[in-house]
Amino acid sequence: MRKGLLFIFTIVLVFLPFSINADAHPGKTDADGGHTCHTNCAKWGLKDGQYHYHNADGSVSLTKPSTSKPTAPSATNRNPLVVYINGTKQSYDQPPVLEDGRTLVPLRGIFESLGATVQWDQQKQLVTANRSGTKVQLEIGSKTPTVNGKVVPIDVPAKVKNGRTLVPLRFVGEALGATVNYDAANRTIKITSSVNIAP
């Protein structure tokens, strides 16, 4: 008799968790985070045997809920950089780009906008700009341009992008005696030059 009761008690203990799980919902999930409905399916708007997921808000869905966090807007989705010289908005055939915290703009556009004449030496990959007794020389890829023969180190060198030679805006502006201010919140660069620049 004792053996019989012990046997029945053992069977009840072994199968009791399965019967509880069978009635419980959401039940056990698989490695993908979902499971197949076998009980109370109508309550959830499901058919018997239908695979589904339980969402954090208590709802049920047939597709896996997204666990990814919203991403911050990328640099490409931001407003473009805008350059003003003495209050006049500049327009270049190659938009300004931000590289390692430095703004690069087309060389001819910025130098000529600041009243400088520009010469390009293709063989040496060297830009020479002159304005009011100031001579600026800038070699593509070099971080050691010169102003009136004196080396002025820069963080980001001039480079070629989309067939256009881009130069560091702050370096060029300051080398030609202008004041350069960057408004990061509005992505705006304002250059003020004391030299009278023709529009």
Percent of the chain surpassing pLDDT 90? 40
Domains of the chain: 2-61 (no CATH), 75-192 (3.30.457.10)
The first and second tokens of residue 199, run together, are: 């529009």
Residue 93 sits at φ, ψ, to 5 deg, of -70, -20
- Does the pLDDT of residue 88 top 80, yes or no? yes
What pLDDT score was predicted for residue 15? 52
Residue 137 pLDDT exceeds 90: yes
Q: Length of the chain in residues, anyone?
A: 199
pLDDT of residue 37: 75
The top-scoring range by mean pLDDT among 1-10, 62-71, 108-117 is 108-117
Give the residue, 169 or 8, on which the prediction is more confident: 169
Average pLDDT of the residues in 160-176: 91
Q: In the prediction, which pLDDT does 2 show?
A: 58
pLDDT mean over 35-39: 75
* Average pLDDT for the chain: 78
What is the pTM (predicted TM-score) of this model? Answer: 0.58
Write the CB contacts of 127 (distance below 8 Å, at least 6 apart in sequence). 107, 111, 118, 119, 120, 121, 136, 137, 138, 139, 140, 158, 165, 167
* 20 pLDDT more than 50: no
Measure Cα distances from 75 to 23, 48, 109, 115 in Å: 51, 48, 24, 31
Q: Is the pLDDT of residue 41 over 80?
A: no
b/e burial code for range 52-89 (CB count within 10 A of at least 16 → b):
bbbeeeeebeeeeeeeeeeeeeeeeeeeebbbebbeee
* C-alpha distances in Å from residue 108, one per residue of 70, 97, 114, 119, 163: 41, 15, 10, 9, 13
Which residues, other chains included, contact 25 with Cβ-Cβ below 8 Å and sequence gap of 6+?
A: 37, 39, 40, 43, 44
Distance separating alpha carbons of residues 19 and 39, to the nearest angstrom: 11
Residues 6 or more apart whose Cβ sits within 8 Å of residue 145: 136, 137, 138, 139, 151, 152, 154, 158, 171, 175
117 has pLDDT over 80: yes
Q: What is the band of 135 on the pLDDT scale with cuts at 50, 70, 90?
A: very high
pLDDT mean over 155-162: 91
Sheet holding 159-161, edge to edge: 97-99, 102-106, 164-168, 159-161
CB atoms within 10 A of CB 6: 10
Asked if the model's pLDDT at residue 163 lies above 90, the reply is no
Q: Which helix (H) or strand (E) holds 171?
A: helix 169-175
